[in-house]
Amino acid sequence: MKVLITGGAGYIGAITNDYLKKQDYETVVFDSLKNGHREAIAGTKLVVGDLTIKSDIDEVFKADTFDAVIHFAALALAPESMEKPFEYYQNNVLGSLNLLESMRNAGCKNLVFSSTCAVYGYPKKLPVTEDEKIAPESVYGSSKRIVEEIIEWYGQVYGLKYMNLRYFNAAGAALDGTLGENHAVETHIIPILLDVISGTRKVFELYGKDYPTPDGTCIRDYIHVVDLARAHVAALKGQSGSVNLGVGKGYSNLEVISVVEKVTGKKVPVEVKSRRPGDPASIYADNTKAKKLLGWEPKHSDLETIVESAWKYHEKRILDENRD
C-alpha cells in the first residue's frame, strides 16, 4: 500500500512515517518544512510544498498514485490560534479542502485525518466519549471541526472512506530515542520539564495548584506517540467514523513531575503560578470506540514508558547539538 503523509516531517508525522515503513508500507511525505524537519524523514521521498497552494498538492497526485492519505499538516497551537484566526482557518481549512479536491480528482478515496479532542471544548462528562457535545473553545479546535465536517460531506457525496482521529495529549518519542519532539516553540509539559532537567530552562512554571483534583493540579490523558502511529495504521482499513485516541485515564501535573524526576534522577525546580485562562481541571478519553472500530489498544502509554522514551530522545538531541 502506498500512503501520502501530509505534515509527515513533524513530530507525530515523522514517527508515523517511520512506523509505516517498518510495516512495509511505501510512503511519500508532503511538508512545507516550516515546522517540520527534513532529517526526521531521511530515506523517504519528500515533496516540499504548501497545501494552501492547490497546484502544489495537485502535482503530487500527478506524479504518484496513492492508496490512502494520512493528513497531519496543520497549525496546532490553541493559544496562538486566538491571536491568528485568519492564518489558522486559511492553513487548516483551505489546505485540507485543497487536499480533498486533489484526492477526489485523482480517485484516492481513503483518508485518515489528524483531529483533536479540542473539538469538545470543555467537556461536561468524564471520560469523554464521541457522543460529547462538539463545542470548540479555540480557533484551532474550530478549524479542526470544520475540516471534520467537510470530510464527512465528502464521504457522503463522493464515497470517501475516512477516519477522524481525535487525539488527546500526544507524548513520548520513538522507543529507540531516534525521533521525538523538537518544536521551535515548545508548549508540551514533558519536553519542557526535560529542558529544565537539562538546564536549558531555569524553572518549571506550574499553572494552578488549586484545581478541584486530588492534588490541585490539572489532569490530562497522555498517549504515547507510537500508540498514535499504530492507530493510524489500523485506521487505513477503509472504514469511516470519528474516534478518540487516549489512554482512558489521566495524570496530574504533579504526577508527571514526579515520574520525570524518577526517570532522570534529578529534581525539578517548580514555581507555582496562577491558573491560565481556559485550562479545564481534568480531561481524559473514553477509548472504547477506537478499540472496537480499529481493533487497537495502547501498548506503550504508561507514564514511565512515555517519559523514558522522551528522555532518551532529549539526551540524544542535546548530544547531537553539542557535537555540531
Residues involved in catalysis: 140
Q: Where are the beta strands (DSSP E) in the chain?
A: 2-6, 26-31, 45-48, 68-71, 110-116, 161-167, 169-171, 204-207, 219-220, 222-224, 241-245, 251-252, 270-273, 282-283
Report CA dihedral (111, 150, 169, 203) to the nearest 10 degrees: 120
Measured between its terminal Cα atoms, the distance across the chain in Å is 38
- Quick one: cell of 60? 503530487
Q: 3-state DSSP call for residue 260? A: helix
Which residue intervals of 125-252 are DSSP H helices? 139-158, 189-198, 225-234
SS (H, E, C) 105-158: HHCCCEEEEEEEHHHHCCCCCCCECCCCCCCCCCHHHHHHHHHHHHHHHHHHHH
Contact 145, 132 (CB under 8 A): no
Strand order in the sheet with 26-31: 45-48, 26-31, 2-6, 68-71, 110-116, 161-167, 241-245
Burial 132-164 (b: 16+ CB within 10 A, else e): beeebbbbbbbbbbbbbeebbebbeeeebbbbb
Nearest residue to 98 via CA among 44, 163, 61, 54: 54
